[in-house]
Chain A
């Protein structure tokens, strides 16, 4: 069941969670709702930061930092760069036909209701969450896991990035034969 946070007796962690969750959802929503792409991008950055906040909350500091670097740093810059490049502003976008918007809202409501209903219906997790006490998320451990057990996927990810790189180049490189 959804635990309505009891703010009176809430611990600091709980309050932080709620605030972060609120910010995350709000900015995510605003990202979509905002009509100016630049605004959207800024909201998205805030959203990413709040997610990083969640990571911090969960004590995954390394991941949080990487997240900020990758998303807020790299990806968002890419977005902004593109937006600037295309010189977009909000006037260009016209409202979608009502039927499409209605469809979007319907499917949004449907999917969220269904997913939430399923999780609510499912057996709640009872009992204490285990805590082994072992270190499992420090940089050291992550590094070991990533470069020992997950060495192959790690290397394979490089292929992924290589493909993305070749692909992006392919799609934007001018050919010699082209006029």
Chain B
């Protein structure tokens, strides 16, 4: 069976993931809307997942793909908890702008 990486190259997947990851990082830094920030984190996780799959193909090994399941579980759990926190903040403050969270400082 032909390895698909012969046509694309693992480097390209790495670059893709890295850039995607960096976009995620950028999003976390750039946006102040908590939901968008969450989404950015999801982008980061997805970038890594993509790389996992690429490496899984690279090694012709199933473990990488199995790990993606775990990463999905983690992502789901994080989103659940994160949104729960967000909701409770929203109930208290009425806003989800993370810049407003500056009471703790110094």
Interface on chain A toward B: helix, strand, loop, or mixed SS? Answer: helix
Q: Is the CB of A88 within 8 A of B96?
A: yes
In this complex, how many residues of chain A approach chain B with their Cβ under 8 Å: the count is: 85
**Closest-CB distance, B90 to chain A (whole angstroms):** 5
Interface on chain B toward A: helix, strand, loop, or mixed SS? Answer: helix
A-B contact count (CB 8 A): 229
Cβ 8 A contact of B53, one of A60, A83, A164, A172: A60
Q: Which of A92-150 contact B (CB under 8 A)?
A: 92-94, 96, 100-101, 103-105, 107-108, 111-112, 115-116, 119, 124-125, 128-134, 136-137, 141-142, 145-146, 149-150
**Closest-CB distance, B52 to chain A (whole angstroms):** 9
Query: Considering the chains assembled together, what is the distance between the CA atoms of A178 and B35 in angstroms?
Result: 28
Q: How large is the interface on B (under 10, 10 to 19, 20 to 34, 35 or more residues)?
A: 35 or more
Cβ 8 A contact of B20, one of A24, A149, A164: A24
Give 23 A-B contacts (CB < 8 Å), ordered by A residue. A17-B8, A21-B16, A40-B36, A55-B50, A58-B53, A59-B57, A66-B72, A75-B76, A78-B83, A79-B35, A86-B87, A88-B33, A88-B96, A92-B97, A107-B25, A108-B25, A116-B15, A129-B6, A131-B60, A142-B65, A142-B66, A150-B63, A172-B88
Chain B residues at the A interface, C-beta cutoff of 8 Å: 1-12, 14-16, 18-27, 29-33, 35-36, 38-40, 42-43, 46, 49-50, 53-54, 56-58, 60-63, 65-66, 68-70, 72-81, 83-88, 90, 95-97, 99
10 A-B pairs with least C-beta separation: A164-B77, A104-B29, A32-B27, A108-B26, A112-B22, A131-B3, A104-B30, A168-B84, A171-B84, A129-B3
